[in-house]
Amino acid sequence: MYFSTKNNSFNEFDIMYKDKKVTIVDNIKFLGLTLDNSLTWKKHIEAIIPKLSATFAMRVLTPLLSLDAVKLIYHSYFHSILSYGIIFWGNTPHSNIIFKMQKKAMRIIIGIRNRDSCREHFGRLKILPVQS
């Protein structure tokens, strides 16, 4: 993969390695993280959004299970996907979408309305928010 900035343009025929032309790709999946050629992490965020939109399962299970069981489901599925590689992509402007999805899951677990604040519940349930 050839990393570049927005202002940096190149001719793909100029890139050679050991007398062979290097194929240029826009993004690649490496160790579960989707890297794009400008390191904006937008492709990675787009890749994990469908995985995190399984909040319907939590909505169905929350009335049937105890709070501890629902938290276990949250941590084993939702939070594990959310926190993998967050040290790399967590500071990107695109991570705001993931934070909103985390708040939606939190509201489902607690049983509060969509417009209610869930800030104080993160600490009470010992769930770390993606960003504050």
The answer to whether residue 116 is domain-embedded is: yes
Q: How far apart are CA 52 and CA 102, in angstroms?
A: 8
Half-sphere exposure of 126 (CA within 13 A, CB side): 5
Q: Mean pLDDT across the stretch 22-26?
A: 74
Domain membership of residue 48 (yes or no) is: yes
Alpha-carbon 4 to chain mean position: 23
Tell me how far the alpha carbon of residue 121 is from its chain's centroid: 21
How high is the pLDDT of residue 132? 39
107 in a structural domain = yes
For 117, list phi and psi in degrees, rounded to 5: -75, 140
Residue 57 CB coordination number (10 Å) = 12
111 assigned to some structural domain = yes
Rounded to an integer, the average pLDDT of 26-48 is: 86
Range of the domain at 88: 39-124
Question: Is 5 within a domain?
Answer: no
Closest by CA position to 61, among listed 11, 105, 8 = 105
Q: How many domains does the chain have?
A: 1
* Residue pointed to by tokens 């927005």: 6
Per-residue confidence band for 74, with pLDDT thresholds at 50, 70 and 90: confident
**pLDDT for residue 10 is more than 50:** yes
Q: Residue 42: is its pLDDT beyond 80? A: yes
Quick one: CA dihedral 98, 75, 129, 91, positive or negative? Answer: negative
Give tens-digit pLDDT for 53-65: 877 888 888 889 9
Q: Does 119 or 52 have the greater pLDDT score?
A: 52
Residue written as tokens 């600490």? Answer: 123
Contact 55, 48 (CB under 8 A): no
Q: Does residue 87 sit within a domain?
A: yes
Whether 62 maps to a domain, the answer reads: yes
Higher-pLDDT residue of 130 and 36 is 36
More confident position, 118 or 100: 100
